[in-house]
């Protein structure tokens, strides 16, 4: 059972070929596992070795080329005919003498693609400098062009089924956030809190189980909340502390990220104050988001809101998110920031995360949203406020 119909995969492929044609690309070589999944359904923890989906402008099906032991993954998860699945021998894996791109180059040459205009994803995590060097050496008659994010921009507008999967992910994210919040108490170990979050992320709901998210739970506490991408340790929480939880639910590789700030004991007044401003700015941003406005116009609403309180933020406050694999759930396309003139369209999805970080503390309160026909809707259902486990303290 594939997560999407064959017709949907074919529509995606057709849109990709339209972009290839616009850029004069005859052969598109994809190494980003999210893009491979998007066009073919390919889904496995195989991206630590070299693999590739080959899209030919004049052929109806892509070709998968990868490690021999992963060929059955391609046969079991993709809609490709088995003759379009080409494995390479295992002595190409992490070898000093040969490289998987040597094999791939020979395949391309043998099928008459060695002198065409070839697009490669130069700025992905999975296409190394060595890979590009070996491929271009072996295909000296080809013309190589950068096709980074070509498929990503096809992915930016979601289908109704993709939105459904992201809403499922949103339910998992809320469940995981409750699990983390309830586990954070004075004396609890950070690692035990993360264990509770992971259990909720993978167990999912009664209706559907969860998948592994592209990013691990981020759980800075105390002064470490000034550094948003710190994970966790085995330290125990003190009687008063501030903890940021950033996580995502994941279903069918689609993500709904969510961040909240939790305090143990009485919250610091500065945390309360910044959280109020962040929530106010987030509310105004969400009220402004709708088709026809640009990413930079959305960011300007946030900047104006926090500016009323004398605050500034240099970093972007959101980005397109959805289908992905480690190490990122972002789609590397539109960003909610000054200068990004991407026009919002219905069924674009974003993680809006207007975090505020200072030298010794930080606050994060985020939402995953879908742009609708006349506004936006939340993908997660969770209280949008500073959270505290001290019944005597007000965090509102």
Kindly list the domain boundaries of the chain, sorted by start residue: 6-155, 157-389
Nearest to 330 by CA among 34, 57, 121: 34
Q: How far apart are the first and last CA of the chain?
A: 46
| pLDDT reported for residue 395 | 46
Q: Same CATH topology for 6-155 and 157-389?
A: no
Token pair belonging to 20: 């290839």
Spatial distance between the Cα atoms of 231 and 271, rounded to a whole number of angstroms: 20
Per-residue pLDDT of the chain (396 residues; tens, 9 = 90+): 799 999 999 999 999 999 999 999 999 999 999 999 999 999 999 999 999 999 999 999 999 999 999 999 999 999 999 999 999 999 999 999 999 999 999 999 999 999 999 999 999 999 999 999 999 999 999 999 999 999 999 999 999 999 999 999 999 999 999 999 999 999 999 999 999 999 999 999 999 999 999 999 999 999 999 999 999 999 999 999 999 999 999 999 999 999 999 999 999 999 999 999 999 999 999 999 999 999 999 999 999 999 999 999 999 999 999 999 999 999 999 999 999 999 999 999 999 999 999 999 999 999 999 999 999 999 999 999 999 986 565 444
Q: Is residue 327 reached through a cis peptide bond, with omega within 30 degrees of 0 on the bond before it?
A: yes
CB-side exposure of 267: number of CA atoms within 13 Å?
27
Burial grade of 308 (CB within 10 A; 0-12, 13-18, 19 or more): exposed
Spatial distance between the Cα atoms of 111 and 119, rounded to a whole number of angstroms: 17
What is the per-residue pLDDT across 247-268, written as a single tens digit (0 to 9) for each? 999 999 999 999 999 999 999 9
The angle that helices 160-183 and 190-203 make with each other, rounded to 10 degrees, is 150
Q: What's the gap between Cα 279 and its chain centre?
A: 23
Q: Indicate the fold that domain 157-389 takes in CATH.
A: Creatine Amidinohydrolase (3.90.230)
CB-side exposure of 74: number of CA atoms within 13 Å?
27
Spatial distance between the Cα atoms of 184 and 182, rounded to a whole number of angstroms: 6
Determine phi and psi for 109, rounding to 5 degrees.
-65, -40
Contacts for 199 with CB less than 8 Å, ≥ 6 apart: 179
Spatial distance between the Cα atoms of 151 and 12, rounded to a whole number of angstroms: 9
Token pair belonging to 87: 């494995």
Q: Indicate the fold that domain 6-155 takes in CATH.
A: Creatine Amidinohydrolase; Chain A, domain 1 (3.40.350)
Nearest to 154 by CA among 35, 328, 319: 35
| pLDDT reported for residue 390 | 67
Sign of CA dihedral 214, 31, 126, 75: positive
């Amino acid at each position: 059972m594939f997560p999407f119909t064959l017709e949907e995969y074919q529509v995606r492929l057709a849109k990709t070929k339209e972009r290839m044609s616009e850029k004069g690309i005859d052969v598109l070589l994809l190494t980003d596992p999210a893009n491979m999944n998007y066009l073919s359904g390919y889904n496995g923890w195989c991206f630590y070795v070299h693999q590739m989906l080959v899209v030919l402008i004049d052929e109806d099906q892509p070709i998968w080329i990868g490690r021999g032991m992963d060929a059955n993954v391609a046969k079991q998860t993709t809609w490709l005919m088995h003759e379009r699945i080409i494995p390479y021998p295992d002595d190409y894996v992490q070898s000093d003498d040969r490289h998987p791109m040597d094999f791939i180059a020979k395949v391309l040459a043998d099928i008459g693609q060695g002198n065409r205009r070839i697009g490669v994803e130069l700025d992905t995590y999975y296409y190394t400098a060595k890979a590009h060097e070996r491929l271009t050496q072996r295909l000296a008659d080809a013309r190589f062009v950068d096709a980074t994010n070509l498929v990503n921009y096809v992915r930016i507008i979601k289908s109704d089924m993709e939105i459904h999967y992201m809403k499922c992910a949103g339910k998992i994210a809320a469940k995981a956030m409750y699990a983390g919040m309830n586990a954070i108490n004075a004396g609890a170990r950070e690692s035990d809190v993360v264990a509770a979050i992971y259990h909720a992320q993978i167990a999912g709901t009664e209706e559907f189980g969860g998948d592994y998210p592209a990013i691990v739970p981020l759980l800075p506490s105390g002064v470490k909340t000034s550094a948003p991408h710190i994970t966790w340790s085995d330290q125990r929480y003190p009687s008063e502390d501030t903890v940021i939880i950033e996580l995502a639910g994941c279903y069918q590789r689609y993500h709904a990220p969510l961040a909240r700030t939790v305090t143990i004991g009485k919250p610091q007044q500065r945390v309360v104050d910044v959280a109020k401003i962040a929530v106010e700015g987030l509310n105004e941003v969400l009220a402004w988001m709708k088709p026809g406005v640009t990413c930079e116009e959305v960011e300007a609403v946030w900047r104006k809101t926090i500016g009323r309180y004398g605050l500034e933020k240099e970093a972007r406050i959101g980005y397109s998110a959805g289908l992905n694999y480690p190490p990122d759930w972002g789609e590397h396309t539109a960003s909610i920031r000054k200068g990004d003139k991407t026009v919002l369209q219905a069924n674009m999805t974003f993680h809006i995360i207007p975090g505020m970080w200072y030298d010794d503390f930080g606050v994060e309160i985020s939402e995953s949203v879908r742009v609708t026909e006349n506004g936006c809707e939340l993908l997660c259902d969770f209280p949008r406020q500073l959270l505290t486990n001290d019944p005597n303290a007000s965090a509102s």
